Amino acid sequence: MEIELSAAGWAWAIVAALAVGVSKTGFGGIGLLAVSIMVDLFGKPSVGILLPMLILADISVYPFFR
């Protein structure tokens, strides 16, 4: 399945990625924004897109809290 996004779609995807990063800093409510944007853009495949983003965000923060 190939996903094609317009320029506005890419902009919203970037906003969602930034919201994932901000939610990892302690603003948990913003995570809901990221999920809702991703579901609106991608539908059911958004779960497969968000999960690696969340895992990579956790892994990248680990060295700072070691």
Tens digits of per-residue pLDDT, 22-59?
A: 888 888 789 899 999 999 999 999 999 899 988 988 89
Q: Please report whether residue 42 resides in a domain.
A: yes
Q: Please report whether residue 17 resides in a domain.
A: no
Q: Please report whether residue 1 resides in a domain.
A: no
Range(s) of the domain holding residue 31 = 26-66
E strand or H helix at 10: helix 7-24
Alpha carbons within 13 angstroms on the beta-carbon side of residue 33 total 17
**pTM for this entry:** 0.79
Tokens of 35: 């999920």
Report the number of distinct structural domains present in the chain.
Answer: 1
Q: How much of the chain is in helix, strand and coil states, percent to nearest 5?
A: 80, 0, 20
Q: What is the reported pLDDT for 62?
A: 84
